[in-house]
Amino acid sequence: MEVTLQNLTKKFPARGRKNREDVIAVNDFSYKIPDGKLIGLLGPSGCGKSTTLNLISGLLKPTGGRILFGEDDVTGLPPENRGIGLVFQNYALYPHLTVRQNILFPLQNLKGKDKLSRAAMLEKADEAARLVQIDELMDRKPGELSGGQQQRVAIARALVKMPRVLLLDEPLSNLDARLRLQTREEIRRIQRETGITTIFVTHDQEEAMSISDEIVVMKEGVVQQIGRPQEVYDNPVNLFVAKFLGTPPINVFDGEIRDGRLYIGKDEVLSVKGVSDQTVYAGVRPEGFVLHKDGPLCCALSGVEVMGRDISVVSRHEASLNPAVRAIIGTENSVDTGSALVRFALKPGKVFLFNKETGERVRGQANEGEELLRP
Ligand code: ADP
Ligand code: MG
């Protein structure tokens, strides 16, 4: 089911003396969510993710704009008539009911022509339970399950009616790290198997990046960028998006463009075509550093962290906005930890320039200048 958001807006009225201004929790959000895809709705706490999801589910009414499921305008429909499945962070299972009864619950409320026989309901519940691999646990109560198992029950309950759209609001946040990893793979698998258009809300960029066909990055109610995870990572439209994606985070420096050269502090690090002289923020992805004994970016070495798969070189630079500069390099490199300085060349494709006032990306063609060293 394709889901279309048209200029979707939600204002919450100002309340009390302290909050004099309306909160625009979702601000003019337009997006055609492709059929059968998993979309990650991503952004820091308070950016409007849950509000967006609740507008799509019908739990909230928009202040403006429309929502379509396929050709169907659902903007005025109550949640129960939209054909959605909802999963929240806190599972929200009925504690006194068994797993089976919990999963059956949405089916028992079906009325009129949708009403099912007991046998048909049980079959659907079994099917949903098998899909999330909890069919062995059907007679237990939620209190007798681990967090991960409880969340699977919640997902089965959301799937049992085969919803047109599946909406998940931070479904993994209550799970420990290992379960989070495992359950997100599960969600991906279930989504692929069922082909249900799914919107997955999270504040965790890695989670969103790892399972989404497309991510939507939001900030203060406003969509910043939509695209395939790799696309957005490789081509952020502004400093906010660049900083929000990636671990370790992007390294941000005070930079300056002069005569087609990028300077970080006094270090002339790259040649840049098509950008007029100006001060900029220069963002360098951790994997954008190349260790080189004559590299143009000269940093004070703080330490080296061996992480097995690669090495993290921690250093300082007077133009760095991050307290530490973090470079990730391959284990084939060896860093002289006795040295006070470490020098890097930069990979042009991993360096982004941003306007200092607006944070918008400054587009230009970064090149390693002929006179600058190639790694
Ligand atoms: P997120 O899910 O991204 O953390 P929310 O969608 O919950 O963010 O909230 C977005 C903004 O709207 C926040 O500033 C929040 O305080 C505000 N907000 C959310 N729900 C309400 C409400 N019922 N009344 C007033 N303000 C709200
Ligand atoms: Mg939320």
List pLDDT tens digits, range 291-315: 999 999 999 999 999 888 899 999 9
| CA atoms of 40 and 214, how far apart (whole Å) | 6
Whether residues 119 and 55 fall in one domain: yes
C-beta of residue 291 within 8 angstroms of C-beta of residue 344: yes
Overall residue count recorded for the chain in this entry: 375
Give the residue-averaged pLDDT of 26-50: 97
Residue 244 maps to a domain: no
Whole-structure pTM value: 0.92
Q: Residues 231, 236, 237, CA angle at the centre, nearest 5°? A: 125
Beta pairing partners, 179: none
107, with CB counted inside 10 A (0-12, 13-18, 19+), is buried
Task: Answer whether 10 contacts ligand 1 (Cβ < 6 A).
Answer: no
Residue 151 maps to a domain: yes
Q: Decide the pairing of beta strands 84-87 and 165-169.
A: parallel
List pLDDT tens digits, range 327-356.
999 988 888 889 999 999 999 999 999 999
Grade residue 19 by pLDDT with cuts at 50, 70 and 90: low
C-beta of residue 137 within 8 angstroms of C-beta of residue 100: no
Q: What percent of the chain has pLDDT over 70?
A: 96
Domain extent for 289: 249-368
Whether residues 265 and 130 fall in one domain: no
Least confident of 34-38, 130-134, 214-218, 315-319: 130-134
Mutation to probe ligand 1, out of 29, 51, 53 (largest number of atoms < 8 A from CB): 51
Give the residue-averaged pLDDT of 260-275: 93
Check whether the bond before 348 is cis (ω within 30° of 0).
no
Residue 269 maps to a domain: yes
Residue 375 maps to a domain: no
More confident residue, 277 or 173: 277
Please give the tally of structural domains in the chain.
2
Enter the DSSP assignment of 350. G
Task: Answer whether 148 contacts ligand 1 (Cβ < 6 A).
Answer: no
Residue 206 maps to a domain: yes
Biggest CA pair distance of the chain: 78
Whether residues 141 and 272 fall in one domain: no
Whether residues 161 and 296 fall in one domain: no
C-beta of residue 125 within 8 angstroms of C-beta of residue 110: no
Ligand nearest to the CA of 43: 1
